[in-house]
A and B are shown apart, each in its own frame.
Chain A
Amino acid sequence: MSLVEQFERGLGAPICLTWELTYACNLACVHCLSSSGRRDPRELSTAECREVIDTLHLMQVFYVNIGGGEPTLRPDFWELVDYATEHQVGVKFSTNGIKIDAEAARRLAASDYVDVQLSLDGATAEVNDEVRGAGSYATAVRAMDHLRAAGFAGFKLSVVMTRHNIGQLDELKALADGYGAQLRLTRLRPSGRGADSWPELHPTAAQQRQLYDWLSSRGEQVLTGDSFFHLAPYGGPLPGLNLCGAGRVVCLIDPVGDVYACPFAIHEEFRAGNVRQPGGFAKVWRESALFTELRRPASAKGEVEAGGGACRSCGFFDSCRGGCMAAKFFTGLPLDGPDPECVRGFGEQALQAADPAAVPRPAADHSHRRGPVPVTIGRPPARACDENPLAGLAVPAGLG
């Protein structure tokens, strides 16, 4: 059995666990996967968070990807980071930089067990702030300045690829290089508020090709969180596992302790349980009906059933494996059919045929109540060539 097949059957513990500590956020990014803004009053307490960390320690989860919301807004954030690292659970946290001052940067630089992922969605304030909000570029740059000054090398600069920043790939790489940081590019998902902004923001077919070619030539220099495996039919897999890890090697714990198959699938359909249940996270990971189903060979949810599905006859199925479950779900496409961004164009056709009224809505909206989050329609590309055109997880080649 190949390593990938082994992974598809699930592991004793996740490789890559995302833990969103809070839905509170100072920003209101138009593509936020978790529709964050306001804190949920049912949020896990400090004591409950410590119990989760104790479980992760026992399960030998090497590290957690802490996110949100903006996790640093939790008053016990640093306490929980220390508790995790004292228990051999490494921490990589995603932040927009709001709390990364000189002191925080020095503290981070001093620890081997903490990694930082700064979110920025454009190489310029103009492109970034359109998506992440006014002033967010300056906030991220100030945080990166502090990290560099403190000597924190190798932090991650994490960018969600959109129609407006794919033309800035070289500038984004240069920006990361200038800080001694590592560039991480991930796929825009139609999850959370992204369900509303995706149609306007997701890359064009030509841009997907441009991105694939750019990533192919960069190899393992650029991290992708394994998020572009749907592009493999362009010419072979990009570095990474190239499989949907949902419930198999990844999962999400949300601020109220709900466990979902992946960070992009916050919906009842993909909820496996809650860490507050008897047995805690370990029992959910090992025994939940949803995860057991996802680990079944050729799972109907995760992938195309061997006996049916629109992708079955496609010669590229072995390379893209039907694409991303969450991307299909939140665009109203059947899970056994093509990804909405199928490189052969089958997704686009399917989208045209989908019934907009039947598209599932994200589970909850924690957005600030200061009015609707603006989604700019028809914004011009950042550069003329933009219309012309891949948490973390950098997996090296296996052994043997």
Chain B
Amino acid sequence: MSTDPGPGFDLDHAWCVDDRVAVRPEPFGALLYHFGTRRLSFLKNATVLAVVRSLADHPTARSACAAAGVGAAALPAYERALATLAESRMIRERPVPETAAS
């Protein structure tokens, strides 16, 4: 599944913001810009911004969501948002330092 570049997103993998992405906080959330693809993206609220910014500090995207206060009911929406960011290469998988939960 993790090799599928489509809509699938592995919440149980380790992720981080791509090195070539700049994140600018705005009243509505944030703007993201990828210097390599020259594409813009939006984060539509402060929670998704907190998730994205903390991805690199968590072993999995799921734990980043939990730490930002995303409950089970809201999780699918955040998974979709993260999948969109992964598709546009704003975030990328990072090597797992230890065994990933699944």
Tell which of A205-213, A260-268, A334-342, A388-396 binds the partner. Answer: A388-396
CA A396 to CA B81, docked complex, whole Å: 13
Contact with A along B28-57 (1 / 0, CB 8 A): 100101011011111111001000000000
- B27 on the A face (CB < 8 A): yes
Given contact pairs A113-B35, A400-B77, A11 touches B88 in the complex (Cβ within 8 A): no
Given contact pairs A115-B38, A400-B48, A6 touches B27 in the complex (Cβ within 8 A): yes
CA A113 to CA B39, docked complex, whole Å: 12
Given contact pairs A3-B44, A6-B27, A90-B38, A399 touches B22 in the complex (Cβ within 8 A): no
Closest Cβ–Cβ distance, residue B78 to chain A (whole Å): 9
- A372 on the B face (CB < 8 A): no
Count how many chain A residues have C-beta atoms less than 8 Å from C-beta atoms of the other chain: 27
By the criterion CB–CB under 8 Å, are B20 and A112 in contact?
yes
CA A115 to CA B37, docked complex, whole Å: 10
Closest Cβ–Cβ distance, residue B83 to chain A (whole Å): 10
Interface SS of chain B: helix, strand, loop or mixed? mixed
By the criterion CB–CB under 8 Å, are B36 and A12 in contact?
no
Closest Cβ–Cβ distance, residue B91 to chain A (whole Å): 12
By the criterion CB–CB under 8 Å, are A395 and B40 in contact?
yes
| CB-based nearest B residue for A156 | B38
By the criterion CB–CB under 8 Å, are A399 and B26 in contact?
no
Contacts of A400 in B (CB 8 A): 44-45, 48, 77, 81
- B85 on the A face (CB < 8 A): yes
By the criterion CB–CB under 8 Å, are B20 and A398 in contact?
no
By the criterion CB–CB under 8 Å, are B40 and A393 in contact?
yes
Closest Cβ–Cβ distance, residue A399 to chain B (whole Å): 4
Q: How many A-B residue pairs have CB under 8 A?
A: 66
Contacts of A392 in B (CB 8 A): 38
Given contact pairs A6-B28, A60-B22, A62-B22, A399 touches B41 in the complex (Cβ within 8 A): yes
> Which parts of A247-303 form the interface with B (CB within 8 Å)?
none
Contacts of A13 in B (CB 8 A): 24
Chain B: interface residue count, which band? Answer: 20 to 34
Contacts of B88 in A (CB 8 A): 396
| CB-based nearest B residue for A220 | B39
CA A392 to CA B26, docked complex, whole Å: 20
CA A13 to CA B23, docked complex, whole Å: 13
| CB-based nearest B residue for A392 | B38
Contacts of B28 in A (CB 8 A): 1, 3, 6
CA A286 to CA B22, docked complex, whole Å: 21
By the criterion CB–CB under 8 Å, are A399 and B24 in contact?
no
- A88 on the B face (CB < 8 A): yes
Closest Cβ–Cβ distance, residue B15 to chain A (whole Å): 15
Contacts of B35 in A (CB 8 A): 62-63, 90, 112-113
Contacts of A1 in B (CB 8 A): 28
Contacts of B31 in A (CB 8 A): 11, 15, 62
Closest Cβ–Cβ distance, residue B27 to chain A (whole Å): 7
By the criterion CB–CB under 8 Å, are A399 and B84 in contact?
yes
Contacts of A396 in B (CB 8 A): 39-41, 88
By the criterion CB–CB under 8 Å, are B42 and A62 in contact?
no
By the criterion CB–CB under 8 Å, are B85 and A399 in contact?
yes
| CB-based nearest A residue for B45 | A400
Contacts of A112 in B (CB 8 A): 20, 35-36
Contacts of B25 in A (CB 8 A): 12
CA A6 to CA B41, docked complex, whole Å: 15
Closest Cβ–Cβ distance, residue B49 to chain A (whole Å): 11
By the criterion CB–CB under 8 Å, are A399 and B44 in contact?
yes
> Which parts of A1-47 form the interface with B (CB within 8 Å)?
1, 3, 6, 9, 11-13, 15
Contacts of B44 in A (CB 8 A): 3, 398-400
- Residues of B near any A CB (own CB < 8 A): 20, 22, 24-28, 31, 33, 35-36, 38-45, 48, 77, 81, 84-85, 88
- Residues of A near any B CB (own CB < 8 A): 1, 3, 6, 9, 11-13, 15, 60, 62-63, 88, 90, 92, 112-113, 115, 154, 392-400
Q: List 7 A-B contacts (CB under 8 A).
A: A1-B28, A92-B38, A113-B35, A392-B38, A399-B42, A400-B45, A400-B48
